[in-house]
């Protein structure tokens, strides 16, 4: 099934150079902060974060979160999904 990505049309980062969300080098901390400021104004943060978590994105800032923050969310999401599956069984 192809995921619905129509929400991307509302993204605050539409038209922004995607490299702004992939920090590296000496200015990585400032780059991440700048990317997070854009995400903070974005009306589709939840959808973006969910897509990054479910698709296993490994690089960049998504949904206003760094990869470390996304990994933490992914772990919680995965353990909750497993728990739900056990309860349903």
Residues that bind ligand SF4 (CB under 6 A): 11-13, 21, 38-39, 42, 44-45, 48, 62-64
Identity of the residue, 41 or 81, whose beta carbon is nearer to ligand SF4 in the bound complex:
41
- The minimum distance between CB 58 and ligand SF4, in angstroms, equals 15
Identity of the residue, 30 or 86, whose beta carbon is nearer to ligand SF4 in the bound complex:
30
Identity of the residue, 43 or 82, whose beta carbon is nearer to ligand SF4 in the bound complex:
43
First to last CA, the chain: 25
| DSSP string across 44-89 | THHHHHHHHHHHT--SS-BTTB-HHHHHHHHHHHHHHHHHHHHHH-
């Amino acid at each position: 099934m192809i995921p619905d990505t129509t929400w991307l049309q509302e993204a605050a980062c539409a038209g922004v150079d995607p490299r702004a969300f992939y920090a590296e080098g000496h200015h990585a901390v400032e780059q991440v902060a700048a990317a997070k400021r854009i995400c903070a104004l974005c009306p589709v943060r939840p959808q973006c974060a969910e897509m990054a978590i479910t698709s296993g994105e490994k690089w960049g800032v998504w949904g206003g979160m760094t990869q470390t923050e996304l990994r933490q969310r992914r772990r919680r999401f995965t353990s909750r999904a497993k728990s739900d599956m056990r309860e349903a069984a």
